[in-house]
Amino acid sequence: MALAETFLKPLIWPLIWVGARVLGALAAVGRLALFALQALRAVVSPPWYPARLIEQMALIGWFSLPVVGLTALFTGAALAQQIYVGGQRFSAESTVPAVTVIAIVRELGPVLAGLMVAGRVSSAMAAELATMRVTEQLDAMVTLRTDPWRYLIAPRMLASTLMLPFLVLVANIIGILGGYALAVYRLGFNPASYLSTTRRYLETDDIVSSLVKAAVFGFVIALAGCYHGFRSSGGAAGVGRATTDAVVTAFILILLFNLTITVLVFGS
């Protein structure tokens, strides 16, 4: 028996390690899902705090416009240049307007805007809530009969979900204009022809796909920031850890849901 255990132990320990990691990941997903359900319940049940909602909409939407706009502008211009270079290999330079608008609206606009807002907003939410947790401000709110879920979590979740479609819509427009400017002033495209081709190949389904993705991304951005900030512990180190984990989680969820929505919802 002892000899058998000696030979089997090196084979069993890797399985134990993998199993522990899988169970830990499933437990983390379960905690995140339960947090999301409780946050949704706080969003739809009174009392509501409209002043907090408007404040968060300004912080998430208005103050994210510069970084989202610049990202979309540079990406649209670079995308048009790359499509033109690739199209030259197949004598298909005329596809630049159509491919640029479809790529920006269906994929790059929502994803890049979501990632940029996640880097800015998720980290801020996590840092603020984590600081309130470690300084016991959340406990003080409960003592004063103020529900942190409805006062802190719900406005952030709703504001992020509402403002991301607006930001993505702006990013799409600026990204298309960036591609237009480079194509017209550097690559020699006719302005009227470029705009006509863009309108002809842009379909309603492309816009709907972009806005649906944006709303989902807004929800998961706020979810990641609020989850890690609300559950933080360990003083200043815990605040830094919550901020980092929030951004990483938001990035992963954005890419995961982007793939899911693209393939399962709008794949046909």
Q: Domain for residue 250, yes or no?
A: yes
Q: Domain for residue 13, yes or no?
A: no
Share above pLDDT 70 across residues of the chain, in percent, rounded to a whole number: 95
Q: Is the model's pLDDT at 264 over the cut of 60?
A: yes
Q: Domain for residue 124, yes or no?
A: yes
Torsion of CA 186, 187, 188, 190, to 10 degrees: -110
Q: Domain for residue 44, yes or no?
A: no
**pLDDT for residue 46:** 86
Domain carrying residue 200: 61-265
pLDDT digits (tens, 9 = 90+) for 232-246: 887 778 888 999 999
pLDDT digits (tens, 9 = 90+) for 85-129: 888 888 878 888 899 999 999 999 999 999 999 999 999 999 999
**Residue 234 near residue 133, CB atoms below 8 Å:** no
Q: Cis link prior to 47 (omega < 30° from 0)?
A: yes
Q: Domain for residue 216, yes or no?
A: yes
Q: Domain for residue 26, yes or no?
A: no
**pLDDT for residue 91:** 80
pLDDT digits (tens, 9 = 90+) for 118-150: 999 999 999 999 999 888 888 888 888 888 899
Q: Domain for residue 192, yes or no?
A: yes
**pLDDT for residue 138:** 87
Q: Domain for residue 31, yes or no?
A: no
Q: Is the model's pLDDT at 169 over the cut of 80?
A: yes
Distance CA 4, CA 9 (A): 8
In the chain, the number of structural domains is 1
